């Protein structure tokens, strides 16, 4: 039987290619430690590999989310601490101006009003701070918690006959500011004194008195303060009553916190929002408008009225306590999120190890495959040599 060169080449090439695939397969297993079997060779192993990979991807995604939430909460806790320090400063300022020998000195008190304004601006800056262009104290769908163009008047307080502590004004006596109205010299502190003899009111805004008493108009009577600010007198004032209120930015974000997604579809409470912190809403809040309290302090200092300053101490203290309560909340939430992060780290390591163990190559299997392939190639080579020799002898004959 004669074997041509072409037939020999085709047969040898096909056999060598088949054996080469086996060699490469064995080589990859020995170098990388990975099984190279087809899915049909080990369907359960492939399924476990896919399952571990999916779980690992999910855990790693949650871990990144938790890490970002932890950074946000930690930074928030730092800013809440700064707000608390500013409130302590405002309280100390009130104590000094109400009780020391400088109380009543117009020049010193008006100069100190700049410190109160600086405290107000620092607090506003803290609650508007961001991380990766996301407001730290913004609830869901919030771009900027506080804007000086979006204002609100605080609840009106009254001192009966201009004496004694401040108390909430009777129902019907409220203050308001026109929407989208630009108010100058923020924050605004308003003092309104009822003049029973004329039925008019003396108005003082940030230490600047109106030249003439002002009379309310309309039904119910509305007192035009100016600068888009007004006061509605739905109840009859008593002789000598003095009313106080402030105009400050109002919260313009979502009420809901930004929750932190954790395992099994569960969530943890996210960071507190600025409304909870500065306006005292929610279960922890004390219904104190922190910006309003600091604005009232600035106004009392600009009016150089130590008596008014002294009656603001309780309000400032309550605002400080409110911030302190929220500081405790942020501290607990930081601990919760960090604990979840640690759990996810442990899960990540466990899944990585399980995945690596599942696809780890069996060294005995590698050596066995290598030996079988080598023997097969040796047998093929010997056989081809014998066939070739036989063909050459036949050709010579």
Kindly report, residue by residue over 78-91, the tens digit of the pLDDT.
999 999 999 999 99
Domain residues for 295? 102-320
Q: How many domains does the chain have?
A: 1
SS3 content of the chain, % helix, strand, coil (to 5): 55, 15, 30
Residue 18 lies in a domain: no
Question: How many of the other CB atoms lie within 10 Å of CB of 11?
Answer: 14
- Please give the full DSSP string across 204-236, using - where no structure is assigned: EETTEE-SS-B--BTTTTEEEEETTEEEEE-SP
In a domain, 203, yes or no: yes
pLDDT tens per residue across span 6-21: 555 566 556 656 666 6
- In 106-154, beta strands by DSSP E: 130-131, 134-135, 151-153
Say whether pLDDT at 36 is over 50.
no
Question: Cα 94 from chain centroid?
Answer: 33
Cα–Cα distance for residue pair 191/184, rounded to 1 Å: 17
Tell me the pLDDT band of 361, cut-offs 50, 70 and 90.
very low
Question: Is 397 a domain residue?
Answer: no
Number of neighbouring beta carbons within 10 Å of residue 36 = 16
Report in angstroms the alpha-carbon separations of 371 from 33, 171, 203, 376, 377.
18, 96, 102, 9, 10
Residue 360 lies in a domain: no
List Cα–Cα distances, 153 to 86, 94, 204, 279, in angstroms: 22, 22, 15, 12
The count of C-alpha atoms lying within 13 angstroms of the C-alpha of 330, restricted to the half-sphere facing its C-beta, is: 28
| CB-based burial, 296-311: b 16+ in 10 Å, e otherwise | bbbbbbbbbbbebbbb
Distance CA 131, CA 335 (A): 19
> Is residue 182 situated within a structural domain?
yes
Residue 176: strand pairing partners? 230
- Average pLDDT over the chain, rounded to an integer: 81
Q: Which pLDDT band, with edges at 50, 70 and 90, does 364 fall under?
A: very low
- Helix, strand or coil for residue 199? coil
Domain membership flag for residue 114: yes
- Assign residue 172 a region (left: φ > 0; alpha: ψ between -120 and 50; beta: otherwise): left
Task: Among 78-92, 238-252, 382-396, name the one with the lowest average pLDDT.
Answer: 382-396
Q: Is the residue at 130 inside a domain?
A: yes
Q: Do residues 177 and 228 lie in contact, with contact meaning Cβ atoms separated by under 8 Å?
A: yes
**210 lies in some domain:** yes
């Amino acid at each position: 039987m004669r074997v041509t060169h072409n037939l020999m080449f085709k047969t040898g090439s096909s056999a060598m290619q088949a054996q080469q695939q086996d060699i490469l397969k064995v080589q990859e297993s020995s170098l990388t430690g990975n099984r190279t079997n087809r899915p049909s060779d080990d369907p359960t192993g492939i399924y476990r590999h896919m399952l571990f990979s999916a779980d690992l991807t999910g855990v790693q995604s949650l871990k990144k989310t938790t890490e970002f939430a932890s950074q946000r909460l930690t930074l928030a806790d730092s800013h809440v601490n700064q707000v608390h320090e500013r409130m302590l400063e405002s309280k100390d300022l009130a104590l000094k101006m109400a009780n020391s020998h400088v109380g009543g000195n117009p020049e010193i008190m008006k100069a100190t009003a700049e410190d109160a304004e600086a405290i107000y601006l620092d607090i506003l800056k803290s609650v508007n701070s961001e991380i990766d262009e996301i407001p730290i104290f913004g609830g869901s769908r919030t771009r900027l918690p506080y804007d000086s163009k979006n204002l609100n008047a605080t609840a009106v307080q009254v001192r009966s006959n201009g004496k004694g502590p401040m108390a909430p004004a009777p129902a019907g006596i409220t203050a308001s500011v026109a929407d989208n109205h630009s108010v100058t010299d923020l924050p605004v502190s308003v003092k309104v004194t009822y003049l029973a003899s004329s039925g008019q009111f003396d108005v003082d805004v940030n230490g600047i008195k109106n030249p003439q008493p002002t009379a309310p108009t309309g039904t119910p009577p509305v007192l035009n303060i100016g600068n888009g600010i007004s006061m509605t007198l739905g109840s009859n004032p008593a002789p000598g009553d003095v009313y106080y209120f402030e105009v400050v930015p109002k919260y313009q974000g979502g009420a809901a916190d930004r929750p932190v997604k954790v395992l099994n579809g569960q969530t943890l409470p996210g960071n507190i929002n600025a409304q909870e912190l500065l306006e005292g809403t929610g279960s922890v809040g004390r219904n104190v408008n922190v910006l309003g309290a600091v604005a009232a302090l600035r106004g009392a200092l600009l009016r150089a009225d130590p008596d008014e300053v002294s009656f603001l101490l309780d309000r400032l203290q309550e605002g400080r306590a409110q911030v302190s309560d929220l500081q405790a909340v942020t501290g607990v939430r930081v601990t919760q999120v960090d604990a979840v992060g640690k759990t996810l780290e442990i899960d990540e390591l466990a899944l990585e190890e399980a995945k690596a163990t599942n696809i780890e190559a069996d060294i005995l299997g590698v050596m066995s495959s290598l030996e079988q392939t080598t023997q097969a190639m040796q047998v093929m080579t010997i056989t081809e040599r014998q066939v070739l020799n036989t063909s050459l002898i036949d050709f010579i004959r």
